């Protein structure tokens, strides 16, 4: 089968080292977002028996290092003979508008970024983004796989093994999920939050109240922080 066409590489890839043999509970995803990832691709499988084969392959130590870059992932699979094969995954990337919304939600609460840095994906962050129209976690339609094997349908067991291992890596570092959706850690850190666009009076009032709680303690309009605060409130009134 032909490989997936590559998108232009944006930023450095994340490379997760080869995982040796894994047994028992260690093979199961341990986070809510990892389990949601697993559900998203298990729904796409034509033959349910392939899931058990793929889980065994993922635990076998026969997959090499997993590479993740913006919207794509790949791994080399040892097929137990003189040759190996590559399995690939493409994930639909969020567009610029969606990332503006996500960044706005990310900076809305200081604890969200701190949680990501500590290896947690806050459920409130994902829910707030979802309510704003941005689905961070991909659905079955957002995933496309390819493999050098001769399987007649995708995802094959090799691509499924890659997807299962990705769940473990997403458990360890949720920034891998953000990269699969199109943004690196560095891009998110460097991207300024977009302005809040509020159309209705109730929303404007709520935003003014939030700003009042965070009002700077400066010394009149000569203080740049106070001037910026007054300008933002004036925009909302």
pLDDT in tens, 47-91: 889 999 999 999 999 999 999 999 999 999 997 777 889 999 999
**Rounded distance, CA 82 to CA 65, Å?**
19
* Below-70 pLDDT ranges, the chain: 1-11, 24-27, 192-237
pLDDT of residue 9: 47
Q: What percent of the chain has pLDDT over 70?
A: 74
Question: Would you call 193 helix, strand, or coil by DSSP?
Answer: coil
User: What is the DSSP pairing of strand 84-91 with strand 14-16?
Assistant: unpaired
pLDDT of residue 8: 46
Name the nearest CA neighbour of 177 among 41, 9, 43, 37.
37
**Rounded distance, CA 181 to CA 167, Å?**
14
pLDDT of residue 143: 96
pLDDT of residue 122: 96
**Rounded distance, CA 21 to CA 121, Å?**
27
Name the nearest CA neighbour of 142 among 181, 169, 168.
181
| 47 DSSP assignment | -
Per-residue b or e along 218-227, where b marks 16 or more CB atoms closer than 10 Å to that residue's CB: eeeeeeeebe
Q: Where are the domains of the chain?
A: 14-94+135-186, 201-236
| pTM of the model as a whole | 0.78
pLDDT of residue 230: 57
């Amino acid at each position: 089968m032909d490989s997936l066409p590559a998108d232009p590489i944006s930023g450095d890839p994340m490379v997760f080292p080869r995982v040796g043999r894994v047994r028992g509970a260690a093979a199961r995803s341990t986070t809510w977002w990892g389990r949601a990832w697993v559900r998203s691709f298990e729904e796409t499988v034509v033959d349910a028996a392939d899931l058990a084969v793929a889980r065994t392959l993922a635990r076998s130590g026969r997959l090499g290092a997993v590479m993740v870059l913006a919207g794509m992932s790949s791994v080399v699979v040892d097929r137990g003979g003189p040759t190996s094969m590559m399995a690939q995954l493409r994930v639909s990337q969020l567009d610029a508008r969606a990332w503006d919304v996500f960044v706005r939600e990310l900076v809305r609460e200081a604890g969200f970024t701190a949680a990501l840095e500590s290896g947690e994906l806050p459920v409130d962050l994902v829910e707030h983004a979802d309510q704003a129209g941005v689905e961070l976690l991909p659905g079955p339609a957002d995933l496309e796989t390819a493999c050098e094997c001769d399987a007649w349908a995708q995802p094959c067991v090799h691509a499924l093994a890659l997807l299962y291992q990705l769940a473990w890596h997403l458990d360890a570092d949720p920034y891998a999920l953000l990269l699969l959706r199109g943004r690196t850690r560095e891009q998110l850190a460097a991207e300024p939050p977009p302005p809040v666009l509020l159309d209705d009076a109730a929303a404007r009032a709520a935003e003014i109240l939030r700003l009042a709680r965070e009002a700077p303690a400066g010394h009149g309009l000569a203080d740049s922080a106070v001037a910026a605060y007054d300008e933002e409130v004036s925009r909302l009134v």
